[in-house]
A and B are shown apart, each in its own frame.
Chain A
């Protein structure tokens, strides 16, 4: 039964250790940010930060991240008070369906933490493993560049 620290709060979760972190976050902790996209670590929709690093929660056993700092999209900001990065995505209207955005924002957050002033190339490289099917890529890159500029 994993003890998880999510968005600064500790939880004793009544789930098996080998349950994928994604399902524990979504079903046990009722978080909506991380999304199921492939279950194969191929698309990035389920990305969360574990000690600041982007991790594919769909293939991460919940028991393997006990005691580490897990941050989900909800941990960055709220609809009333979005983070600077989330606000930049809103300002650029960087979405169509919005399903992949959790992964886009979390992977960008990790990038900006280690490289606050990335080049456009750096952003594209950091997001290359995150799939978007609506074709919003260039808007997403602009949103990340805006967040970096406005930081």
Chain B
């Protein structure tokens, strides 16, 4: 034991076995198994209490930051760097960040649900604070001074007597192998240099200049190009295929057929594409019959056997005295994640039968386990290395492409095989955000106040991430010995899934919220930004707007009657003020709308107000301007949060105005950007985002907060402009025109 292995209560009890058990390959298992009790540690530091799991002092005055959460375009690595640099008192340039490599980073599960700062960020923040304190206690001995009297500047510790030593000289090549104590508090807000300050994103210069940063840019030595030929429709079975003709095409190294899974490997990318096209033309398929379509899916949802899940049931006996009962039903179609860069992966099978998969997955550990399951390999034989991809906004084709690459790499040991999905692959085969039906019912008294509130949801699953199971991987479902899709479950409290944000933050005397969870699928579906929150907030905020209108009360004032949380009230009022709600002038064809939600009822508070114009002749809607205030607690990156909220506003406007996946028995018809258009530059309004900063309070997740309120604010503005309530997304001109007749 060197001086940096400070015996904690834990290591004493276990005879130092933790230090021994720690290995580079499986840092996770050892600590997870050992950690049954101990100090209360925040976020993912609970799972990995060893400081060296997160931070390592390296030669050349560098600090290696190891993160299980990954960059998906949300700027999270910069936020982690800010947290670590501040608490460790080093210049941010000293940080070398490694994330999502299952061989070296802590297993922090999935990067999703707007939780990366809440779980990963706080772990890094506290690990850095503890590491600093630990280094100072040793420096105190060495420099002959009290730890409290030492000053640190950029990793250099100075005592009042003028003596100084750097962190790196202090550890002399060793790592600090101690566990967090839970007793070191992060810095006060006033002492921060990076947290909450404008810090440019660490990844942006490379992305602006074509430096190597994306998975698409990796070209390992000897790499071959693979392509997969997907069936024409869900569940189709391959009847026949001309393998010989494709195998003889230029550059083709191998055609792989396993059941209804077809892949090809070639020397050059365009050769792989040409061979895949030839295979596609020669393939004969047997299609499933009688499957639901995008037109029949809403009736299908309501007539399927379902699990009924009640998440809130508070009765108001006075509801029986209601003067009025109002009902409305809302529909949300399947929405695509719609990444700009189709899913890509590179897999390499080593001579020892191990598989390395380079992937832009959000769940490197669980995806590695699922691929191992698919290939029949022991778990430790498959490792994933995360590399950045294009923005994903949830679970898209990322993991399926990783599985495709692994299947092809298995057929070509020793050679890295790169898979890049086509636009058609991504549009047709990514797992969409589930279609939903939401029925609202309110009992009102004679003044139009709400006595009882009833929210009923019909939905398929919002979560089919790999989770270590091959059945969740698309290609595994089509192999000769197929893996069945596991029966999905709806996520429970406190995050929820289909019923996310189903419970209103408004305080009504009676509240009932239940979900009819359909275990079957009409189309592939999985986590898409906000899960059920988009449809639930659309429904709640459209409905309460109508109730305000019915009561002849201003919609902001009506909401404030039921909104008791002071932070929620402040966000709503600030948004109204930013928009100029009270002095707004009505005009023909013009409308204003406002909406509010606290994401998951536990994360960021966001309200959105906007102005829209509706051309009654064409049905075209134009959003003129958007104002939005958010309270996300303590803010690590002000600009990063604004960017996320604004991006969510744009994406939600796009979903609401334009998007809905079309499919029928012959397959998905939304095959490219012409068939599934999204919002473009000339359609995007000025957007004003403001934040209410609360330094020192808990971080609140922000990445998905504006999806629901934006769609609802738009629906309310269209109602205001036309006097007609539209309850089915998307609000395409044909639907609006038909509704106005």
Q: What residues make up the interface of A, taking CB atoms closer than 8 Å to B?
A: 15-16, 19-20, 23, 26-27, 30-33, 35-40, 42-43, 45, 72-74, 76-79, 82, 86, 89-90, 93, 95-102, 105, 123-125, 127-141
Contacts and interface: CB of A to CB of B under 8 A. Distances in A.
A125 B682 contact: yes
Contacts of B589: none
Contact of A30 (B207, B219, B391, B651): B219
B212 A32 contact: yes
A40 B423 contact: yes
Contact of A93 (B339, B340, B639): B639
B201 A93 contact: yes
12 contacts: A15-B268, A16-B270, A19-B268, A23-B270, A35-B341, A38-B672, A74-B210, A97-B390, A124-B684, A130-B681, A134-B391, A135-B647
Interface of B: 72-75, 200-201, 203-214, 216-217, 219, 268-270, 338-342, 388-391, 393, 420, 422-423, 639, 643-644, 646-651, 654, 672-674, 678, 680-682, 684, 686-687
* Most interface-central of A23, A37, A38, A98 (chain B CB within 10 A): A98
By Cβ-Cβ distance, the 3 closest A-B pairs, closest first, are: A97-B73, A135-B650, A98-B207
Given A95-B207, A97-B389, A133-B678, 9 more contacts: A36-B341, A40-B672, A42-B674, A79-B205, A82-B209, A93-B201, A97-B341, A98-B213, A101-B208
Given A90-B208, A96-B647, A97-B72, A20 B270 contact: yes
Contacts, number: 172
A38 B681 contact: no
A78 B213 CA distance: 14
A121 to B, nearest CB: 8
A133 B207 contact: no
A39 B423 contact: yes
Contacts of B206: 79
B340 A78 contact: no
Contacts of B651: 133-135
Contact of B217 (A32, A105, A133, A137): A32
Contacts of A31: 210
A140 B650 CA distance: 13
B643 A43 contact: no
Given A78-B209, A135-B647, A95 B674 contact: no
Contacts of A45: 340-341
Contacts of A140: 681
B209 A73 contact: yes
A23 B268 contact: yes
Contacts of A93: 200-201, 204, 639, 643
A62 to B, nearest CB: 10
Contact of B74 (A16, A37, A96, A124): A96
Given A23-B268, A97-B72, A124-B682, A90 B205 contact: yes
Given A97-B73, A97-B391, A137 B650 contact: yes
A127 B683 CA distance: 11
Contacts of A73: 208-210
Given A19-B270, A127-B681, A36 B342 contact: yes
Contacts of B219: 27, 30
Majority secondary structure of chain A interface residues (helix, strand, loop or mixed): loop
Contacts of B644: 96
Contacts of A39: 422-423
Q: Which among A39, A89, A132 has the highest number of chain B CB atoms within 10 Å?
A: A132
B423 to A, nearest CB: 4
B205 A82 contact: yes
Contact of B643 (A16, A27, A136): A136
Contacts of B388: 97
A37 B643 CA distance: 22
A131 B74 CA distance: 18
Contacts of A16: 270
A95 B208 contact: yes
Contacts of B423: 37-40, 42-43
A101 B207 contact: yes
Nearest to B339: A133
Contacts of A42: 423, 672-674
Contact of A36 (B420, B648, B654): B420
Given A42-B673, A100-B340, A135-B651, A32 B210 contact: yes
A91 to B, nearest CB: 9
A38 B338 contact: no
Contact of A27 (B74, B268, B650, B678): B268
A124 B72 contact: no
Contact of A99 (B390, B648, B649, B684): B390
A90 B214 CA distance: 17
A134 B684 CA distance: 13
A39 B276 CA distance: 15
A93 B647 CA distance: 13
A37 B341 contact: yes
Contacts of B203: 98
B208 A89 contact: yes
A133 B338 contact: yes
B340 A33 contact: no
Nearest to B393: A133
Given A39-B422, A42-B673, A79-B209, A137 B268 contact: no
Given A93-B200, A127-B681, A133-B391, A102 B340 contact: no
Given A135-B646, A138-B646, A99 B210 contact: no
A99 B647 contact: no
Contacts of A139: 643, 646
B204 A95 contact: yes
Nearest to A99: B390
A87 to B, nearest CB: 8
Contact of A132 (B217, B340, B422, B643): B340
A19 B208 CA distance: 26
Contacts of B73: 95-99, 134
Contacts of B680: 128-129, 131
Nearest to A127: B681
A138 B650 CA distance: 10
Contacts of B390: 97, 99-100, 133
Contacts of B684: 124, 135, 137-138
A70 to B, nearest CB: 14
Contacts of A20: 270
B209 A86 contact: yes
A16 B650 CA distance: 41
Contacts of A97: 72-73, 340-341, 388-391
Contacts of A19: 268, 270
Nearest to B218: A32
A122 to B, nearest CB: 11
Nearest to B686: A138
Contacts of B649: 135
Nearest to B203: A98
A128 B680 CA distance: 6
A123 B681 CA distance: 9
B269 A27 contact: yes
Given A138-B684, A141-B681, A133 B340 contact: yes
A105 B393 CA distance: 23
A74 B270 CA distance: 23
A39 B208 CA distance: 21
Contact of A137 (B210, B269, B340, B681): B681
